[in-house]
Structures are given as structure tokens and as C-alpha cells.
Amino acid sequence: MLLGDGRLSHDIDPTDRGPQDACGVFGVWVPADDAGEAEVSKLTYYGLYALQHRGQESAGIAVSDGARIVVFKDMGLVAQVFDESVLNTLRGHIAVGHCRYSTTGSPTWENAQPTFRSTDGGSLALVHNGNLINTPELAARLEPGRLTATTDTEVLTALLAGRPGQGSAESPARGGMSIDAAMEILPVTRGAFSLVFMDERTLYAARDPEGVRPLVLGRLERGWVVASETAALDIVGAAFVREVEPGELLAIDEDGVRSQRFAEPRPKGCLFEYVYLARPDTTISGRSVQATRVEVGRRLAREHPAEADLVIPTPESGTPAAIGYAEASGIPYGQGLVKNSYVGRTFIQPSQTIRQLGIRLKLNPLREAIEGKRLVVVDDSIVRGNTQRAIVRMLREAGAAEVHVRISSPPVAWPCFYGIDFATRAELIAGNLSVEEIRTSLGADSLGFISLDELIAASQIAKDRLCRACFDGVYPIRVDEASRGKHLLEVAQTRS
């Protein structure tokens, strides 16, 4: 589908979207005398490349050489936005980068990140993964006309840059922002936020008190990296040091890494990161995402066994759980669906005829592997059910004798307000139908979801330290009705 700016979206059918990831954030600091050798813009490019799964609408990098900040951003994938010539113009020793999927504000160039603000003492560039839930309240602190975009990130950037970087004896200014400004604004910011931002001389990182979205700290041979996932540390050769703690603010410069608490930690890490969002080669809270997903598959097999001849995944997100299911059930694991690796960017807008082919543009069955077989098909989640319905129909047309669908997460019945762009509750199939009704809708011979308790057990994290709101409707941070909605700032500006 063509976007308004002529770029091509990754949706074949805009009415059939799965859970959309929030964003990927990355930041790097190296000593100024290593800037030329380190090429921080290229490190950031590769870091964002590793985080591309978290957002595909836009990408951007900001770089500081100690005197000024330069920002380059555009709509599209990381590899579409940046090339060698662009990266060669982004020179400095500090960088922050972002790949975006919009959860507040429309997918436009103005809303792409990093956001940038000039201050009396310099300037500030910021990237954000998550979603704030008191954006109107925060925006009310700003004078009219201060916002140039319609995102919660723009509001936060304007507030952080609103105070001159004068600093104090305890927290001197290092560029366009003082630590005092962050320590004033962050405690009144509610919702999910993993932030990486910088002024001319210092790299900062902060994580909300609940720690909903991930953020990690890594060490280069000479320098530091912060990123959404450990996989991004791996790709740039950084050693994992630790997670940025919930309620923690880090400042990184020539004096090293300094840490301050702006709030008491109340850990509520997102359980859906284990189900779908994070890369399988990422580690969260000391637990490999791949290992967790395989264990979920084992537990799913014990909770919902099936008489079948073959276990197949829905590529790629269902693969680890399918491996675990096959291992625990003793049913052979095989490939029954082939994914088109290049479908992420189509070069024509699908006509109605092509769209009716639906899932075949993404997946095609291996008829010789599935014909006459009783199949267990493992997928990570069901949102609207359109994809799974098409897969069941396609497998039957290819000769499958039976199709038993197994899902490695509980039913997604509630929307997320913390950085995942789920459908509204009315659009979520599990928000309206029972499991049996969903099975009938999909046309499957049987349907089984892993229970919430078993999914939590596989994560090896205590239940009270996880956000499970999309599964059980228990929101760890209360969301006012007025603060809900992707386009709330645009609506507010229209009204004013």
C-alpha cells in the first residue's frame, strides 16, 4: 500500500494487521578523540537495523560533535532512509537513533524521531519507546504554539528543553539540558517510556518506574551503548552490562556513567515482549527470549495435546513454540508453510483480486509435506483472526486432513496503552468471542491457547512484576479515558 509520501507500507492488507511493535531506540557515546574511528552514526545504523522489527514506519539518527547536533530522519525502513553518503555526513562522538511504529500521533515526517529542540544553553535530541498516558496533562504545561508535532515524545522533548541548561553545583549543565530538568519532568511523566536523549556533550537514558518497555546498557571497548534489546548490543560488539532499572536516569559522558533515581521502582515488564515483540536472540531479565518461547511450546503441548502427524509453525513468530510443542508431544516437527522473505515491501498496491489471495502473498503451503496429514499449527497470538482463518483454509485446500491450531499466548482480549498498537477491544476477536466461537470462526478442528499462569511460569518472572493487561485487563498504570487514543493531540489541536 502506498503511503501519502509515496513510500510503500509493509501491510499487504491494511485491514489485517497483527500487533504492531512500539519502537526501537539506540544511543552511543565514545570519547571525542575516538569519534572518527568509532563512526557513531554507523554504529547507530547497525543498532537500528537490529531493532527494525520494533518499528518500520520511519527511522532517524541525531549526532553531536560536542558543539552542535545534526538530525537526519525520514519515512521508511532503516536501509531506505540511510545510505553511506548520508551516514558520512553525520559525524560526532554521541548519537541517538530510532525506528518508529506510531502509537501516538500519525505516521508523518513531523512525528518521526529523534525529536529536536533548541534551548538557551544548546540543544536536545530525544528518542522514545513506549506510550505516555498523561500526555494532555503534560501538554498543558506548555505555552500554546510550542508543539511542532503531535506525539507524546514531542511534548516530553519540549518540556525537557524548556529550562535553560544552567545546571547547579550538584548537577552542572553539560550542554543543552541540566540533570535538574530531567529530575523535575520525569517524576510527573506517567506511562511507558524508555528514553534515550542527548545534548551536545552528554548521552542520557531513562526508564519509567514500571519498566514496561525494555532498555539495556552495554560497554564498548571505549564507550557505552544503550538500546531497546541486547541483540542490538551484539551487532555493534558491545558487551551487556545490565538493564537500565525502572525509575532510573543515566548520564554518560567523559566522566563515565552516573545514575540517579527519579522514582521508586515498581517493575511491571511487558509479558508480550516474550510472546512476540522481542527478537528471539534477545535476553530480558536474564532469560533468553528463545528459551522462553520454546518452553511455552512445551507447556502448550501439555495443556492442549492433539492427535496429529506433524507440528508446523506459522513462520517466523510461531517457530520456537512449535519446536517446544513437538519436543514435548513427540509429534514430528516440520515445515508446512514457506514464507516469502521479500513481502515486507510490495511494489504495487494490491488490487481487490490480488488481495483476495490474501495470505498467499506472505505464505505458501508445502503440499507434499501436509497432504493427508493431521496438523498442529502453532502461532504466537490471535488478534483479529483474519490471518489464522486464511491459513486454516489454505491448509485444507492443500490437502490437510485435520488442522489443530495452538497459540503460544492467552487470548488477547484487551488493548494496550503502553506502546503496542493493538486493535480496540471491539476489533479484538477474543474481546467478543469465546474460545469455541473463535475455533468455529477460524474453521479449525480444535483450538488451544496457553493459559496465563503457564506463560508466566515459562518467563520465570513473578506474576506481580509483569504487565499482563492485554491478557487479563489488569492495567498496572491507570489510564484515564481522556488520555486514550492514538490521535488525541491531533484532535486537541483541531478543537483549539
Residues annotated as binding site for Mg(2+)? Answer: 317, 379-380
Is residue 23 among the annotated active site residues? Answer: yes
| 105 touches 131 (CB < 8 A) | no
For residue 310, the surrounding DSSP H or E stretch is strand 310-313
CA atoms of 335 and 322, how far apart (whole Å): 10
Q: Of 334, 428, 422, nearest to 373 (Cα)?
A: 334
Number of alpha carbons in the 13 Å side-chain half-sphere of residue 79: 7
CA atoms of 303 and 448, how far apart (whole Å): 8
| 167 touches 187 (CB < 8 A) | no
For the CA atoms of 380, 382, 385, 389, the dihedral, rounded to the nearest 10 degrees, stands at 30
| Three state DSSP letters for 454-489 | HHHHHHCCCHHHEECHHHHCCCCCCCCHHHCCCCHH
Active-site position among 23, 126, 252, 423: 23
CA atoms of 204 and 262, how far apart (whole Å): 13
According to DSSP H, which parts of 304-340 are helical? 319-329
Known binding residues are 270, 317, 379-380, 416, 467, 470
Q: What is the DSSP code string of 401-447?
A: SEEEEEESS----S--SSS-BPPPTTT-GGGTS-HHHHHHHHT-SEE
Query: Taking the CA atoms of the chain, what radius of gyration do you get in angstroms?
Result: 23
Count other C-beta atoms under 10 Å from residue 266's C-beta: 15
What DSSP state is assigned to residue 358? Answer: G
Known binding residues for [4Fe-4S] cluster are 270, 416, 467, 470
CA atoms of 423 and 115, how far apart (whole Å): 26
Number of alpha carbons in the 13 Å side-chain half-sphere of residue 294: 10
| Strand-strand pairing, 310-313 and 374-379 | parallel
As annotated, the active-site residues are 23
